[in-house]
């Protein structure tokens, strides 16, 4: 027995806020439209989402994650350490140090809600503004 879910991630105070909802399949356009109906504390809205499939057998008491997608980012900008260093912004000292120390090659900076900066992992997907606009053009504002 298996069931699919989509988890939306929104900027939080220390860690991202999460909202998980069932979904028929790992359908990116549907998830993009669903994201427009999510609002977390302090009016934060999702910066991204990830699909999971949970499954269990008759012998299992509870389900477990059996498949997980990469992170899909709802817009933003990918930056390398060289990009961050070139700006030499004093307010980004901690970001530069964290990238250097932890050998982080790329970060994603998303500002569609509160600013969120995170490591952009291999396999993660940055959805273009064109794709986002196309999928949300017909979404009612009260979703």
Q: If residue 30 lies in a helix (H) or strand (E), which one and from where to where?
A: helix 28-35
Single pTM value for the model: 0.88
What are the angstrom distances between the C-alpha of 89 and each of 30, 85, 98?
38, 8, 14
**Residue 141 confidence (pLDDT) above 70:** no
pLDDT number for residue 140: 52
Where residue 142 falls among pLDDT bands split at 50, 70, 90?
A: very low
**Residue 68 confidence (pLDDT) above 70:** yes
Break the chain into its structural domains and give their ranges. Answer: 2-136
The string of pLDDT tens digits covering residues 6-62 is: 999 999 988 999 999 999 999 999 999 999 999 999 999 999 999 999 998 888 888
């Amino acid at each position: 027995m298996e069931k699919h879910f989509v988890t939306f991630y929104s900027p939080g105070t220390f860690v991202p806020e999460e909202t998980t909802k069932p979904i028929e399949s790992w359908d990116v356009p549907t998830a993009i439209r669903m994201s427009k109906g999510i609002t977390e504390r302090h009016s934060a809205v999702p910066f991204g989402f990830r699909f999971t499939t949970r499954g269990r057998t008759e012998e299992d008491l509870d389900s477990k994650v059996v498949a997980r997608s990469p992170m899909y980012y709802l817009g933003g900008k990918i930056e390398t350490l060289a990009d961050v260093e070139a700006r030499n912004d004093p307010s980004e000292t901690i970001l530069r140090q964290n990238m250097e120390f932890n050998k982080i090659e790329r970060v994603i900076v998303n500002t569609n809600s509160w600013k969120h900066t995170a490591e952009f992992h291999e396999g993660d997907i940055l959805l273009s503004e064109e794709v986002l606009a196309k999928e949300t053009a017909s979404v009612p504002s009260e979703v």
